[in-house]
Amino acid sequence: MVNDKTVLRAVKLRRKSERLLYYADFTDTCWEKVSDAYGITGRAEFDRAAGLFRPVTLFPSRRADAPEFDYSEYFRGVFIPEGVKISGEGVLHLPGGAYHFTRLVSPLRDTYDFREIKKLPIYRKKEYYDFSRYKNAVIGAHNCGAAVQAWVGRFFETSWPLRGYENMLADMITEPETAEYFLELETEFNIAAAKAGAEAGADMLIFGDDVGSQNSMTFSAELWRKLVKPRFAKVISAARAIMPEIIVWYHSCGHITEIVPDLIEIGIDILNPIQPESMDIWALHKKYKDKLSFDGGLGTQSVMPFGSPKDITEAVKRLCETFGENGGLILAPSHVLEPEVPVDNVKAFIDAAQKYCR
Residue 122's alpha-carbon distances to 37, 56, 111, 170, 238, in angstroms, are 45, 28, 16, 21, 23
Distance CA 132, CA 110 (A): 39
Q: In what order do the strands lie in the sheet with 293-298?
A: 21-22, 329-333, 293-298, 270-272, 247-251, 204-208, 148-153, 56-58
Closest CA to 232 of 254, 260, 263: 263
pLDDT of residue 99: 66
Phi and psi at residue 192, to the nearest 5°: -60, -45
Per the DSSP assignment, residues forming a β-bridge with 298 are: 333
Q: Provide the pLDDT for residue 346.
A: 98
Residues of the chain with pLDDT below 50 are none
Helix (H) or strand (E) holding 304: helix 303-306
Helix (H, G, I), strand (E, B) or coil at 252: coil
Residue count of the chain, please give it. 358
Rounded to an integer, what distance in angstroms lies between the CA atom of residue 243 and that of residue 201?
8
Options 3.20.20.370, 3.20.20.210, 3.40.50.12280, 3.50.50.60; CATH for 4-356 is: 3.20.20.210
Domain ranges of the chain: 4-356
Q: Which of 218, 90, 236, 210 is nearest to 154 (CA)?
A: 210
CA distances from 119 to 109, 112, 261, 356 (A): 14, 12, 38, 55
